[in-house]
Amino acid sequence: MTDLAAAKAALRSAAAARREGLKDPARDRTICDHVAAHLATAAGAVSGYWPMRSEVDIRPALGALSTTRTVALPVVTGRAQPLLFRAWTPATILVPAAFGTTVPPDTAPWVIPQVLLVPLLAFDPQGWRLGYGGGFYDRTLALLRARGPTLAIGVAYAGQRVDHVPHEPATDARLDAVVTEDGVTDFPPGTAPPRT
């Protein structure tokens, strides 16, 4: 295991426990309000996620967004593969899928989102995100951003902020913003120092 991988693994364990202690339905509702307001004028399809474990429950925000735009959920197609996305509405009946996820059925149309709402374990003031270690969002964002403008917006509790997330700029995808119960923090391009 490399030093970077070891640093990420140590932070991942502590961050998961921290997020568990922050889980709160009232915070989730406030975050959903901020998400819906922030994306009210954003263009393009939005990818959300179906919450697992102690992730922020953004389902109310996804329902609100679905009244004015296409909303999609991610589909894992295999290890080390980018995510794909299928359309979702509040009427969609989800089915169990790989890695304990729940996804729209095979009959739901494929979607290429321009905005991704991304769950996370920790984030830092430069917009670096700590995920679960599979690299799914990093590969997906690299692919989508190569095709055109794509926003990655982290969704978290304010208490998930840390001073520094260990990262490799060549392979880790930086967030454009993060939404917490305290509001929206933007990470403009070019503001991240080349620290690893």
DSSP symbol at 177: E
CB 196 within 8 A of CB 169: yes
Residue 195 has pLDDT above 60, yes or no: no
**Average pLDDT of the segment spanning 54-73:** 96
**0.85 surpassed by pTM:** yes
Residue-wise pLDDT tens digits, 117-132: 999 999 999 999 999 9
Q: Say what the pLDDT of residue 55 is.
A: 97
The CATH code for residues 3-186 is 3.40.50.10420
Q: Provide the mean pLDDT of the chain.
A: 93
Domain boundaries, the chain: 3-186
The residue among 67, 75, 49, 50 whose CA lies nearest residue 153 is: 49
Element (H, E) at 116: strand 115-119
Q: Write the CB contacts of 40 (distance below 8 Å, at least 6 apart in sequence).
A: none
Residue-wise pLDDT tens digits, 102-120: 999 999 999 999 999 999 9
CB 34 within 8 A of CB 184: yes
pLDDT-above-70 percentage for the chain: 96
